[in-house]
Amino acid sequence: MARKITVRNLDIEQGRPEVTLTEEDAKELGVHVQDRVRIKADGREAVGIVNIARSGLAPGTMWLSPEITRRIGLSDGQTATVIPAEKPCSIGLIKKKMDGEHLSKEDFRAVVKDVLENNLSETEIAAFISALYINEMNMDETVALTQVLAETGETLDFPGRTVYDKHSLGGVPGNKVSLLIVPIVAAAGLTIPKTSSRAITSASGTADTMEVLAPVTFDAEEIKAIVNKTMGILCWGGGVNLAPADDIFIRVEHPLALDPHNLALCSVMAKKIATDTDFLVMDLPMGSGTKIKDLDSAERFAMDFIELGKRIGIKVECVVTYGDKPVGRAVGPALEAKEALRALEGEGPSSLIEKSAGLAGVLLEAGGVAVKGEGKKKALDILRTGKALRKMREIIEAQGGNPDITSKDIRPGRHRSKVRAEREGYVVAVHNRAVVEIARAAGAPQDKGAGFLLLKGKGQRVSEGDVLFEIYAESKYKLEQATKLARQRPPVKIEGMIIEKIPSYGIIR
């Protein structure tokens, strides 16, 4: 059963493709709320989820959400054919995985195709991810899904170059190390085209932070041109359509707080295939709020990344890093960009410099520009002699930013509050999750100037009345909200002298 229906655009972002039909048309088509229909016009088609309007819409017309009109380019007043959609065959493959069987590359290809074509609902994708979580994937499946994810998106290629990359498994606020690593590694003559994400749940993704200094959205040709000029780039991965099905998986698994181990491997490595990476250093932050709770788990990730890399032709080295507190002291786009630039200028917090140089050193050794065991020292040299800062300025200029910018030019939000210690003692913990929530309440990452600045770090002695941290915001209202949150859920924990008697760190928290 098919019907010709006239389009009325509805400019509401619903996060999924929705078609609003009148009761009459839905009845004629034999479809109900939440069913799926195919919308065809001029040889293009899209799948939509049915809503039913009981008023406001004339029979023979329908509202299409922007997710659909963008896809098939229909505009108000045009007509499209609507037919009930059959159940996609990949439902059977999801069931197969649920039943404990293994999926082949062809199976994954069918599922990913249906995901990309909107043939699977979020409910169905959630079932797929649940099956991957509970029944896990073996290494053959992991390799297959990684390759399928990579092949279904755009790819970058850098012929004739050995491509180096760095990736962090995430979960640590203030982790702006890529802003140091890329210029260090590029200054040493290695190619490092770093694509990064924007924040989903964090206060600033590397792309959000870099955007304070220069534009970050480029297409594949522009990326190649910049890399050919400067050896490095710090761009937003979303500007090129790398492994797009992975983004959909992430969107679905995020509210579930589900993160199947091997799907995390696929997600990282598919993007590395798509960006033509030859050598990768993985930063595995261990600690509260990260994916890695202990050394066993770190080792499992490391072995799996290395093995998967081997199977798909990428050499991987893994570094387990301390992830129980923010990297550096600044959290939020402008504050982080300022801190990273200050570190390139020669003055930064040691945790940021140590971590960046350590990871960069692995790449320098792999690229043969540092002697084995001397990579970190070489990285620190590049940083201290100002070579990294010069390279960063080249990169900023190539990306269309102002190359003469200094850390002093970057101003955080004009509204600021200071939170002081209510007692004397030692800082025994800085809670990642609370820091992020305060920065987000203050407006990060959308408000670039919003963020959190730690003044007293872990282990430091504080007196009553000392400023522990500052909150910055672009609006007074958000500053108040964030400050209120900081009082309800203190991000910095202070203990008295008794601290020394506590037998292990785990108990303090």
Task: List residues binding a second copy (CB under 8 A).
Answer: 1, 10-16, 18, 20, 27-28, 30, 33-34, 50-56, 66, 87, 91, 94-95, 98, 100, 121-127, 129-131, 133-135, 251-252, 255-258, 440-441, 446, 477-478, 481
C-alpha 14: how far from its chain's center? 21
- Least separation, in Å, of the C-beta of 302 and a second copy? 23
Shortest spacing between CB 245 and a second copy, in angstroms = 16
Q: What is the DSSP secondary structure assignment for residue 455, as one 8-state letter?
A: S
CA-to-CA separations, 413 to 195, 478, 482, in angstroms, rounded: 27, 11, 13
Q: Are 427 and 457 in contact (CB under 8 A)?
A: yes
Nearer CB in complex with a second copy: 55/504: 55
Examine the residue annotation and report whether 259 is marked as an active-site residue of this protein: yes
Q: Which one of 25, 35, 42, 259 is the catalytic residue?
A: 259
CB 473 to a second copy: min, Å: 12
How near is the Cβ of 89 to a second copy at its closest, in Å?
A: 11
For 197-297, where are the E strands, in sequence order? 232-236, 279-286
Nearer to a second copy, 20 or 399 (CB): 20
State how far the Cα of 17 lies from the Cα of 69, in Å rounded to an integer: 9
Cα separation, 200 vs 28, whole angstroms: 41
Category of 227 on φ-ψ map: left (φ > 0), alpha (ψ -120 to 50) or beta: alpha
Sign of CA dihedral 359, 360, 365, 367: positive
Burial class of 87 by CB neighbour count within 10 A (0 to 12, 13 to 18, 19+): exposed
Nearest to a second copy of 238, 403 (CB atom): 238
Q: Which of 355, 404, 405 is nearest to 383 (CA)?
A: 355
CA distance 305 to 316: 7
Query: Which one, 98 or 369, has the nearer CB to a second copy?
Result: 98
The distance of closest approach from Cβ of residue 123 to a second copy in the complex, given in angstroms and rounded to an integer, is: 4
Nearer to a second copy, 107 or 165 (CB): 107
Q: Catalytic residue positions?
A: 259
